[in-house]
Structure formats: structure tokens, C-alpha cells
Structure 1
Amino acid sequence: MSNDAVAHSFNTLGIVGTGAMGRGIAQLAAQAGLNVMLFDVKEGAVAEATAFINGLWQRSADKQRITQAQAEQYGERLIEARDLAALAPCDIVVEAIIEKLEAKQGLFSDLEGIVRQDAVLATNTSSLSVTAIAAACQHPERVIGFHFFNPVPLMKIVEVIPGLRTANDITQRVNALGTAMGHFTAQATDTPGFLVNHAGRAFGTEALRVLSESVTDPATIDRIMVDQGGFRMGPFTLLDLTGLDVSHAVMESVYHQYYEEPRFRPSPLTRQRLSAGLLGRKTGEGFYRYVDGQQQMPEEPAIAPASPCPVWISQDDPGSAAQLAELVTTAGWPLESADQPSSEALCLLTPLGEDTTQCALRQGLNAEQCVAVDMLAGLDKRRSLMASPITRPELVNAAASLLNADGTPVSTLQDSTGFVLQRVVACIVNVGADIAQQGV
């Protein structure tokens, strides 16, 4: 049965925890026509959250995105709950508290003695088992995962995760509620990380591994993934956006729940930065610095101009070789056509899943002359180069100057199997295939 064919039939939604996530859920629920009761153990937190949400609506009214009447109507739907007992009238309660199993179990156990027996208890957990949270309840059939992403109003997806004992009708109704709130609902099985955070392990985790191996710096990795990979933002920009207090906890949770699966191993780099309070945007500094909320991206290193030298291109991949030959000819550099390069030539290689050193040795070439070019995503928006540890410095600079001759940005990396883009994409494909195999 489709979500559209089921009415969610919720009139009053309770929220426990009025941080960024709770506020976003409250905003969407009120806009969808529900009365929203907010509770937080911190004194003044609900009033602060209500003022914040009303401020968003007022700014939208000022910009004529909604009417003044709508802004006021939405605001009237926000109701402060003085204590947990005040949530008794709620048809569904969504918890958005600390990401600790015992805390969520304790909250739901308390709520069971307050709300009606037919009320739904929804957890916004990002990585904990919904089944484990429900295990502390007398009626686990009414417990379900309802996982939004921050910032909630902008991230138009919500995961609906039934536990092993969640009733089918509740799953259907919560799916319908997510749709009514304006989000795409992705129903996932109750496995570590669910769908999105499971799939996301490859993007950030492999990027952190690249960084830990000193292949390059965070800004270069981000530029490669955006320009060459076509991602909306790079992994380190994303980590700064979500905050390491959230991201590192998810990394560790998924890793341990999969019994230390090596592909999901967290990085000591994020643990250290978490300990130092370098969480990202929320603290003004993470992998980048932020001034008035604006990311301070470091400038790219300048490429010194080089005089044209002979260029020899490996025919290991004829299609890639043809693209490079056209670029060399257009730049006006001399192109060698012999089977073997001269001793003065810059040798351009196009490895797939290899490092420059191994690629050179496999082809019987002098690694001192070799620079590899990542051809996985073409040469249009950015070009990634990789020298061997013994490549002559003047040839590394010559390669960068050549590939930058038409103004296209160039990133130069330390030797590593699979550059940056190839490594991250390969991990994404592997994790995605595993998700499909598991039926997540």
C-alpha cells in the first residue's frame, strides 16, 4: 500500500528535546497542520526554541514566502509542555535527545506511563537500534524510528525504521506523516546506520583515511570530490556542517554495531579534533575556520610556469591517452610518439586503482620521469596529478603547468593507490552494493 493511500491521523505531536533537530521537526509538523507540544529538561529551552522557530516564520512572512496570517497560525500551534506528564494528549511523541541507548530507553519507559496506549513513540536516533530502544517498552509494537537530517527543513528526506516488533499500521501512518511534513520518506530496515548513515560511511571514512596517509589536505580532497566527483560538498565541509560531536559518534556506533567491520573503522583524527572542541561550524572552527558563519577556504597553491618539454603518454588506456594527447597538442608542448620515452620526457600515466610507482614499474618505465593523471571523471573541471616518491621535482611542476595551461585547476597529490576520487568512489560502490545485498 502506498503512503499516499494511508492517512496518518495524527493531530498532536510531542517533541522531547528542543535542540536543532527538535526545532526543525517542530517547524515542519506545525506547518503540516499538527499541534506541537515541546518539552525539554533544560529550563528556558522550550521558550528559546519557540522564539527561534517563530523568528523563522516571521522572516519568511517579511520576504512574502508565506503570509503574515500563516506565520501567526503556525506559531499558535506551538505549545510548551511544562513536564513530561503534559504530553499525555499526544498522538505521537518524537524524541530528539542525546544519542545514548540508556537515555532513550528510560525516556520511552517513562512516556509509556503517560501517553495513551495507542500513541506512537518515535525515535530520531541516527544510529542506535530501534529494536533495542523498544526492548525497554511494554508495548514495543508502537515504537518506530523517524530519523530526520539536519537542517531538518532543508534536508528533504526522513528515514522511517520499523523495529522487529513494530506494528505494520504504525509504519504506514508514520510514512504518511513524513510525506505530509513535506519530506521524501525512505523506509529502511533496523540495521546499523539504517540507510543514509550506512551509505555515508564510505564518503567521510575513506576521505579521512586519505588525509591520515598524508596524500593531501582537507581542502584539496573537498575540491576534488566537488569538481571532479560532482558532489554538492566535500567530505570535510560535510563533517564541519554536521559537527564532529554528531559525526564521530555515528562513526563509532556503526563500526561497533557491525562488529568492527574494517571498512567502517573511524579515524583517530576525528577523535582528537572532537577532544579539542574543533567540531565545525557550530564552534567556529573544524577542518576549516568560520568567520560570521562563512567558511574560510584556503587558497590553492600557485603553479609555477614551466617551459615546454617533451611529453610521452602511456598507451595503457588508449581512450585516456587520446584525451591527454589532444590537451598536450593544444598547449603546444612537443609530443613523443615512440614506444618508449626519451630520457628527458615527462611521462604521463593513466592508472586505474594503482599508484604511480606500481604503474610505472608494471610498464617498465623510469619512475623518476612519471606523473599519473586521474582520468576517471575526465579533464573538464579539475585535474588530479600524482607523482611517485622519486619523480623529478621539475617534471612534477611541468606536469602541473601543462595541465593548467588552459586555466583548469590542478591538484597535485602524494603517491597513493587510486588517487582521491577513485578511492572514495570505489568505497561508495562497495558499501552501496553491500547495502543492496543486505536488503537495507
Structure 2
Amino acid sequence: MSALTPQARVAVIGAGAMGAGIAQVAAQAGHPVWLLDNRPGAAAQAITGIDRQLARRVANGKLDTQAHRATMARLQAAESIEQLADSELIIEAIAENLEAKRELFRQLESLCRDSCILASNTSSLSITRIAAGLKRPERLLGLHFFNPAPVMPLVEVVSGLASDRQLAQRLYDTATNWGKKTVHTRSTPGFIVNRVARPFYAESLRLLQEGAGDCATLDALLREAGGFAMGAFELTDLIGHDVNYAVTRSVFEAYYGDMRFQPSLIQQELVDAGHFGRKTGQGFYSYAEGAERPAPVELHSDQPIEHCVVEGGLGAAQGLLQRLRESGVRLIERDGHGLLRIGDAVLAVSDGRLASQRARDQGLSNLILLDLAHDYASAGRLAISCCAGTSPLARDQAVALLQRAGFKVSQLSDSPGLLVLRTVAMLANEAADALLQGVASAADIDLAMRAGVNYPEGPLAWADRLGLPWVLEVLQNLQAAYGEERYRPSLLLRRQVAEGRTLHA
């Protein structure tokens, strides 16, 4: 079954920001589009807003005048649901209320011809539950856009228990023709992105609650070491804490209180206070006029560095050695177990244990652990944590060495897995569980996380690159440190390690 032709009429119900954006996408792809809202004048107002947005793009040289006029000619405000009867695709983008959606689709089913595809833009509700009251539930699917729809490239095509596979493929092909990065997913809580992304927020929130670091420092590490576009606190401020917290609670409750999705008390407090982020002027950061963003905490050292000892390979951190060589540091290499020695300091890449635990296990003094970087050869910042009893001199020597390699250095308190490592390990773990449960293919999970939330690398591919045995070890050490089910490794991850295979195998 091929994609809808450009001549096929598309209807969008709900003229809020999401509905208007979806209508714009369909109209720009060549479809005649009805836009309907139950608020008088809202659809016409939304179309006027689209006109203004496109006019700005014309003024900026990003769109030609003819394309602007053609798009606007295809957009029409509908005054009643009956006007949508000749549509070939109807996309619902109303409030996230199950009964309201079910009632709307019952109306549409009795109004529209049998060939019309019905789609919901829900981000959290079960497509199976929405469709359950229909005479033909197979014609209802999810078509989940991300906000703002004209800008964000990802669309999740969501199949419920009864959804017709051919219709799912038709929606996939149609969204792809609209210029979207499209993925298939089953209707499970959070679909792909809103499920797999939970640890990105959760691990930063947990470290903040434990006093391991401040918001600005943790955000800077996710950006400058992890390669993420934004840190967790600035991103949740942008999304809105009312929205982000509600999604986390929804996923947590849908999975019967699985602690992997436990909401944060810190975020709940922000919501209770009405501090939703940018839209209210206050979240983790202040957005009041003239407010200054706090700077990340950095360490500095003027200790002279001429050489260091490298004992064994550093695994994912080999790029650090190249940076040291290029900076003129002489490397003395000998056999060992992945340690760097500089003066009194011993450096190692974290394996998920507390620095003090690892120092005791391995009989090391002045042990300083390094966090993960997406690319050690180019990262601008790196986190460290120190075992108990580390001398100020040893810490200064370690900082000086990393500064010599071109890193800004931020210290976190002794926390298992620091920040980037535990975040990536947990993202990969959740993605592995989604793959195990048949939510989506490995390729679609990775694509969804790159295109939907702009991750620098798909979490499954990232874990494969780091090495699954190491990722599994990190998770096991996190679970041992906390004694919580939250960090339990996925069965798929354990199985792939046991079989010597990758997650993309």
C-alpha cells in the first residue's frame, strides 16, 4: 500500500500548537487540509498564525513566496465535524483525555467513509484503549509528532493491538513523504522516545537530589562531555515541568510503579510551586529579565605536567591519550589494568563503582575516576570524582593533566558512575528492554532517539561501541551501590553479553 497522494484531503482536529503544526506540515506537503477546533474562531486564528510564521520564513530567505501562498491556499478552517466527511486521513490532536478521544473517534467512525484512516497524536495514551470502542478498531493508529511539528523531524507510527499493518505502513510512507524521519512502534507506555528518554532526566535529577553537583555543572557535563544538545535541567525548563513530570508519572503508573521510571521529588516540588520553567519565568533557572545563568563549577591547577604513566589500555578513553600526546605530555606506557599515574594521583575511567569502593577493592590511594565522554578526542569538559582521603596535591595533579589535554574539569561528589556514564548506561538499558519487548526494531529505536530528542548517538549503537560487557558491568555496579531494582540490567543486555553479540546483531 502506497503513501497517500498529495491530492488526498487531510483533516486535523485540535488547533493548538501541535494541531496547527501538523496541519502546516500536511499542507506544505501538498494536501488540502481542514483544521477544526471546538473553540469558536480557534482554527482560523491558528491558520493566521501559520501565515505569519511562513511570512517570516519568506522574509528570512528560507521559503519562497509561491510556496507560502500555495500552502496557505490549501489550509481551511472547518466550522463543523461534518465538513471532514470526505477526508482520507483525520489526525486528532486534542487534549490528552482518554474519554474525549474515544468519543471523538466514535463520531468520526460513523461520519467518515470506511477508507478514511483515523490517527491520534497522543503522546501517552494507549492506542489499543482509544480504539477499543470502535466497530473497526483496525483503522485507528497513532501518528505521534513532536513539538514543534514543522521543525522536529521524528514521527512515531503507533500500532495498537487491532491496528491494520497495511494502514500502519501507509502512514509510515505518508509521513516519510512529508519529509519526516518515521519509525514504527507498538502501543506501549511512552512508545519509544517518551519511554527510553526517562533516564536522561532521572539521573541528573537524582544526582542533584544527592548533592553531587549543581544544575549548571551537571547540564554543562551532559552538553560538553556527553554531546547532548541540552542538559536535563535546561531541557525540562524548556519542555515545562508540568508536562515532563506528567509524562514521567504516566509512564511510572503505566508500568505498575516500576522504579526505573520513578518521578523526582525535586521536580514535583517545582510543579507544586507553579515553577514550570521558561513559560512561567522560573524553573531550575530563572528567566526573569536580567537574570544571569549560573556558571558551571570548574577546577583549576597550575601544577607542572611533563609526563604520566599509562598502565594498560583505557578502553573508551583512548582519545584522551592522543590529546595528551598532542599537547606534549610524554607518555610512559607499561602493562596494567587501565590506569593513569601522574605524581601522587591515580586516574581511571569509572566502571560504576564509587571511587572509594574501587580504591578499597584495588588497594589504590588517591584514586580519581573519570566520567564518560561521547568522544574523548573532542569533548570540552570532563567530570571527575575522588576517593576518600585523596590529597589536594593529587587532585591538583590530575586536574592539571586533564587541563593539559584541553579539558575543563568539574568535580562531582563520589557518586556511582558519575553523570554521563550512568546516564548513557541507563538509556542503553531502557532501549535494550524496549527492543527485548518488541516495542520497535533496534534501528528504529536509535533513529527515534536521534531524531526525536537529538541525541548524539542512538543508545543501542552507543552501547555497542562502548562494549556491552563494560555497559553491563557499570549497571551491575550501580545496582550494587544503590541496592535498587532501578538499575537492574536488561535481560537482553545480559543475553547478548553471554552470547558475545551486540544489540544490533
Please classify the TM superposition score into its range, dividing by the shorter chain length. 0.7 to 0.9
Task: Supply the AA of the counterpart residue of 1:378.
Answer: Y
Task: Supply the AA of the counterpart residue of 1:94.
Answer: I
Once residues 272 and 330 of structure 2 are traced to their aligned partners in structure 1, the CA distance between those partners, rounded to angstroms, is: 51
Does structure 1 residue 30 correspond to structure 2 residue 27? Answer: yes
Does structure 1 residue 301 correspond to structure 2 residue 266? Answer: no
Once residues 226 and 202 of structure 2 are traced to their aligned partners in structure 1, the CA distance between those partners, rounded to angstroms, is: 16
Q: What is the number of equivalent residue pairs in this alignment?
A: 432
The Cα shift of 1:10 comes to: 6.5
Q: What is the aligned partner in structure 1 of residue 367 from structure 2?
A: 370
The Cα shift of 1:326 comes to: 8.4
Q: What is the aligned partner in structure 2 of residue 386 from structure 1?
A: 385
The Cα shift of 1:431 comes to: 1.2
Q: For residues 73-88 of structure 1, what are the structure 2 equivalents within 5 Å?
A: 73-88=70-85
Unaligned runs of 5+ in 1: none
Q: What is the aligned partner in structure 2 of residue 221 from structure 1?
A: 218
Q: What is the aligned partner in structure 2 of residue 160 from structure 1?
A: 157
Q: 1:311·1:346 contact (CA, 8 Å) conserved in 2?
A: no
Instruction: Give the secondary structure class of the aligned counterpart of 2:129.
Output: helix
Instruction: Give the secondary structure class of the aligned counterpart of 2:130.
Output: helix
Task: Supply the AA of the counterpart residue of 1:303.
Answer: L
Once residues 242 and 326 of structure 1 are traced to their aligned partners in structure 2, the CA distance between those partners, rounded to angstroms, is: 37
Q: What is the aligned partner in structure 2 of residue 419 from structure 1?
A: 418
Q: 2:352·2:416 contact (CA, 8 Å) conserved in 1?
A: yes
Seen in structure 2, the aligned counterparts of structure 1 residues 205 and 100 have a Cα distance that, compared at 3 Å, is: farther
Q: For residues 29-428 of structure 1, what are the structure 2 equivalents within 5 Å?
A: 29-290=26-287, 297-308=293-304, 315=311, 327=324, 345-366=344-365, 369-374=366-371, 377-378=375-376, 380-381=378-379, 382-393=381-392, 395-405=394-404, 407-428=406-427
The Cα shift of 1:426 comes to: 0.9
Unaligned runs of 5+ in 2: 440-505
Per-residue displacement from partner, 1:2-46 (whole Å, max 9, x unpaired)?
xxx444577222222222211210110110111222222334422
Seen in structure 2, the aligned counterparts of structure 1 residues 100 and 314 have a Cα distance that, compared at 3 Å, is: farther
Task: Supply the AA of the counterpart residue of 2:418.
Answer: F
Seen in structure 2, the aligned counterparts of structure 1 residues 282 and 65 have a Cα distance that, compared at 3 Å, is: same
Per-residue displacement from partner, 1:293-334 (whole Å, max 9, x unpaired)?
x99642233535444599987848666699579849968899
Per-residue displacement from partner, 1:198-218 (whole Å, max 9, x unpaired)?
221232222322222222123
Moved more, 164-173 or 389-398: 389-398
Once residues 142 and 228 of structure 2 are traced to their aligned partners in structure 1, the CA distance between those partners, rounded to angstroms, is: 28
CA RMSD, Structure 1 to Structure 2 (Å): 3.4
Q: 2:355·2:369 contact (CA, 8 Å) conserved in 1?
A: yes
Seen in structure 2, the aligned counterparts of structure 1 residues 307 and 362 have a Cα distance that, compared at 3 Å, is: same
Given the two structures, how large is their TM-score scaled by the length of structure 1? 0.86
Seen in structure 2, the aligned counterparts of structure 1 residues 117 and 416 have a Cα distance that, compared at 3 Å, is: same
Once residues 431 and 308 of structure 1 are traced to their aligned partners in structure 2, the CA distance between those partners, rounded to angstroms, is: 43
Q: What is the aligned partner in structure 2 of residue 12 from structure 1?
A: 9
The Cα shift of 1:162 comes to: 1.8
The Cα shift of 1:77 comes to: 1.6
Seen in structure 2, the aligned counterparts of structure 1 residues 176 and 408 have a Cα distance that, compared at 3 Å, is: same
Seen in structure 2, the aligned counterparts of structure 1 residues 411 and 302 have a Cα distance that, compared at 3 Å, is: closer
Once residues 130 and 269 of structure 1 are traced to their aligned partners in structure 2, the CA distance between those partners, rounded to angstroms, is: 31
Moved more, 256-265 or 61-70: 61-70
Q: 1:192·1:257 contact (CA, 8 Å) conserved in 2?
A: yes
Seen in structure 2, the aligned counterparts of structure 1 residues 175 and 385 have a Cα distance that, compared at 3 Å, is: same
Instruction: Give the secondary structure class of the aligned counterpart of 1:255.
Output: helix
Seen in structure 2, the aligned counterparts of structure 1 residues 18 and 406 have a Cα distance that, compared at 3 Å, is: same
Instruction: Give the secondary structure class of the aligned counterpart of 1:204.
Output: helix
Task: Supply the AA of the counterpart residue of 2:294.
Answer: P
Give aligned-pair identity as a percent: 37
Instruction: Give the secondary structure class of the aligned counterpart of 1:348.
Output: strand
Per-residue displacement from partner, 1:108-127 (whole Å, max 9, x unpaired)?
22333433343222100112
Given the two structures, how large is their TM-score scaled by the length of structure 2? 0.76
Q: 1:21·1:150 contact (CA, 8 Å) conserved in 2?
A: yes
Per-residue displacement from partner, 1:86-130 (whole Å, max 9, x unpaired)?
333322221112222222222222333433343222100112110
Instruction: Give the secondary structure class of the aligned counterpart of 2:294.
Output: coil
Moved more, 429-438 or 88-97: 88-97
Instruction: Give the secondary structure class of the aligned counterpart of 1:289.
Output: coil
Once residues 182 and 127 of structure 2 are traced to their aligned partners in structure 1, the CA distance between those partners, rounded to angstroms, is: 17
The Cα shift of 1:356 comes to: 0.9
The Cα shift of 1:411 comes to: 1.3
The Cα shift of 1:241 comes to: 2.9
Per-residue displacement from partner, 1:241-265 (whole Å, max 9, x unpaired)?
3222322222122222222222122
